[in-house]
Structure 1
Amino acid sequence: MEIFNGTQQALANRIKSDSTISNWKDWQWQLKNSIRTIGQFEKLTGIRFPAKEKEKLNETLEKFPLSITPYYASLISKDNYKNDPVFRQSFANVHELTVLDNELKDPLSEESDSPVEGITHRYPDRVLFHVSNICAMYCRHCTRKRKVGDIDFVPSKEQLRKGIDYIKNTPQVRDVLLSGGDPLMLPDSQIDWLLSELTAIPHVEIVRIGTRMPVVLPYRITDELVSILKKYQPLWINTHFNHPREITASAKEALRRLADGGFPLGNQTVLLADVNDCPRIMKKLVHKLVANRVRPYYLYQCDLSEGLSHFRTPIGKGIEIMESLIGHTTGFAVPTYVIDAPGGGGKIPVMPNYIISWSTNKVVLRNYEGVITTYKEPDHYDNKFCDRNCASCNLELNLEESDEIQSLGIEKLLSDDNDSISLIPEDNERYNRREE
């Protein structure tokens, strides 16, 4: 029989005295009982704030609302909550009221790159499709703080249809990223409908979902949801773990269901001051991710959104963390460190420098240990001048899928997709007589 751990039991009983493990693991029960006020937070967690601090915190919530699932709140270390990474990411901070001159409501200019409602078309062959402004939890570091929590924007099919029609009428779009808010806040039936519409568009090759559900509400990843998603392969799923403590037994179960469902899983971590700005923390995080079949995808420099100055680190801290990963752990456990350029310039990779110098014939390099070495350039390389006349190019430009190599010899006889029953050597005298 499944039981609560002590913290979950106490928190659930404060919500309702007869709460059961079935209630706790019901994602809709979790949403219904989300913590939205400071009073609720104090009552359910037992953490108390001084009166003056509470006044400032209430001012913060007037501008940036609060929403924490009971599950995520149960992860907070009550004895050291002010330094707890879960608390820092989920609970309001008076520093959010400090808005610097260079901080923006829309730092990535998503509105400027929005040809129709719900679509951001920044890169040539892919679009971001905002399908909800609601999240299971409102992350305090969210780049879309201007939108998240807008209860008036839960899109209808008619609103979503505008984005679908834009994608249909824009044939260069081969990749659609569903984002929000959190796309998995939509009902199963609406997710099913949306994916069926998008995957029916001939030029859409892949669909991606960006979600934080495995982190803040892992019970949303139900068998029923996975069955729906499995109908629409290839489907890629990116989640958003920022600290090793978020990878709990429940989070692991959610990731297992998704991985077993056949979805490639990635993770996008935001570099946050006093949360994960430490090489030791980040290495542990990426190791726990790959152990659960999640590939670290991006490490984001915190954006210039309003009220996030207390979360931002110098870029040098990110470089330091990358130096601690590259060469020191498995290659596919190393994310790409990026800055999402203010003004809508897109993601810019930022990496340590490994090229020390460069001449006509040699490149001088250094490795992760500081060993300096050289790479000899080829003596003869005919630089290809491309005049865009593909018809005269000697490269293989037939880019369609190749036919499978036909089976030969004994392999041919063993093959289930071939009707041959015998191999006849060339110039077999008996068969030549038959032909005569």
Structure 2
Amino acid sequence: MNVIDSKNPESRHPRTASPVTRTLRTVTDLLEAGLVTPAQAPALDQVAQQYATAIPPAFASLIESPDDPIGRQVIPDAAECTVDPTEDPDPIGDDALSPVPGIVHRYADRALLKPLLVCPLYCRFCFRREHVGPGGGVLDDAALGRALDWLRTHTDIHEVVMTGGDPLMLSPRRMRAIMTALEGMAHIHTIRIHSRVPVADPERLNDEMADALETTRSMWLVAHVNHARELTPAARAAIRRVQARAIPVLGQSVLLRGVNDTPEALEALLRAQVAARIRPYYLHQLDPAPGTARFHVPIREGQRLLASLRGRVTGIAWPTYVLDIPGGHGKVPIAPGYLHEGPDGYLRVEAPDGTIHRLARERG
């Protein structure tokens, strides 16, 4: 297990007594790493029949205990076999909006390109957990060609969001080939890559991969980070390799019970991102995938949590709190509201300290 100086959660550097040298993928691996007990093994074998496990050494080294904010995200739990009636195998409607394998078209001007369904680690709250895993594989040349042809013929698409799985699990050669293909489509102006690799397996984001991301298009990397401790020196170095090529980095996080659902934890996460020159972009309300109820934070609680940081955290660090409406209806902001109309027709605005102020009546 790991021994950590806990005085400063933003700058702790874990020391690993028994270093993990390979990705943990099985219940036996977890037992040997001391992350689960023999008594838990039978139930976790049942979980393993449904959902993949992968915890790379860089991420495993951060785990203080199985239910700490890092371990909780990635160590399987027997509760994953309990499905709430509100949960859905395809909570945001990807399947219904996929015209060809590898493409999801939800918004008029952009589309998702999913070249593979493999990740460096498998988060226990993942909304695509029914699809991703070692068996998800990579689109073969023919399937990738059909996906690119769909993008090529739909000239109303101006932005391609590469997701998966995790696009940075591709080889640099294959990533470069995809970039070249997208650059050949005059109507594609923006390319966005969503990835967990920078914090999960930072050495994978080496100079060769960073070179493969260079393009004449507007390129953005969106790093998935849920806790301040994920931004280790190695993770920050990986992110700098991208930033050095003039690719801006945004941050997205999921609001998770036991991970970042306190003012202190969320503030530390937002500040850590800004310190790494990552602009917090989205704070996602948890999507109701099967077996994820233990991570759920009610929306009203999330709104109060964000409101508690208003005035304490710079606007540079302020993410948009969003809900992806179940059924494929798209994302909407669900941030706390500060503007209200009074019975006299005047607007009232709530200040960060909670005081209410009346504004002059608006003209027109």
Q: TM-score, normalised by structure 1?
A: 0.77
Deviations 1:272-302 (A, max 9, x none): 1111111110011100100111011111111
Structure 2 residue 56 is matched with structure 1 residue 69: yes
* 2:18 aligned to which of 4, 10, 21: 10
* Cα separation, 1, equivalents of 2:88 and 2:34: 35
Whether the 8 Å contact between 1:195 and 1:232 is mirrored in structure 2 is: no
Structure 2 residue 211 is matched with structure 1 residue 227: yes
Q: Which one has the bigger helix percentage?
A: 1
Deviations 1:310-331 (A, max 9, x none): 1111112211121022222111
Change (3 A) 1:311 1:361: closer
Match for residue 111 of structure 1? 95
1:2-151 correspondence to structure 2 within 5 Å: 7-8=15-16, 10-12=18-20, 15=21, 33-43=22-32, 45-51=33-39, 53-77=40-64, 81-151=65-135
Change (3 A) 1:360 1:6: closer
Match for residue 3 of structure 2? none
Report sequence identity in percent: 34
Whether the 8 Å contact between 1:130 and 1:179 is mirrored in structure 2 is: yes
Match for residue 151 of structure 2? 167
Shift of residue 359 of structure 1?
A: 7.5
SS in 2 for 1:237: strand
Rg bigger for which structure? 1
* 2:173 aligned to which of 172, 189, 212: 189
Whether the 8 Å contact between 2:35 and 2:66 is mirrored in structure 1 is: no
Shift of residue 181 of structure 1?
A: 0.3
Shift of residue 223 of structure 1?
A: 1.1
Whether the 8 Å contact between 2:94 and 2:104 is mirrored in structure 1 is: yes
Amino acid in structure 2 at the alignment position of 1:371: T
* Cα separation, 2, equivalents of 1:6 and 1:87: 14
Shift of residue 360 of structure 1?
A: 9.1
Shift of residue 356 of structure 1?
A: 2.3
1:309-328 correspondence to structure 2 within 5 Å: 309-328=293-312
Shift of residue 42 of structure 1?
A: 2.4
Structure 2 residue 238 is matched with structure 1 residue 254: yes
* Cα separation, 1, equivalents of 2:344 and 2:248: 42
Amino acid in structure 2 at the alignment position of 1:36: R
Deviations 1:127-181 (A, max 9, x none): 1111110001111111000111052531122211111111111111101000000
SS in 2 for 1:39: helix
* Cα separation, 1, equivalents of 2:147 and 2:341: 48
The count of residues paired between Structure 1 and Structure 2 equals: 352
Shift of residue 7 of structure 1?
A: 4.4
Higher mean C-alpha deviation, range 185-194 or range 229-238: 229-238
Match for residue 251 of structure 2? 267
Relative contact order: is structure 1 or structure 2 higher (C-alpha 8 Å, sep ≥ 6)? 2
Whether the 8 Å contact between 2:117 and 2:164 is mirrored in structure 1 is: yes
Amino acid in structure 1 at the alignment position of 2:30: F
SS in 1 for 2:18: helix
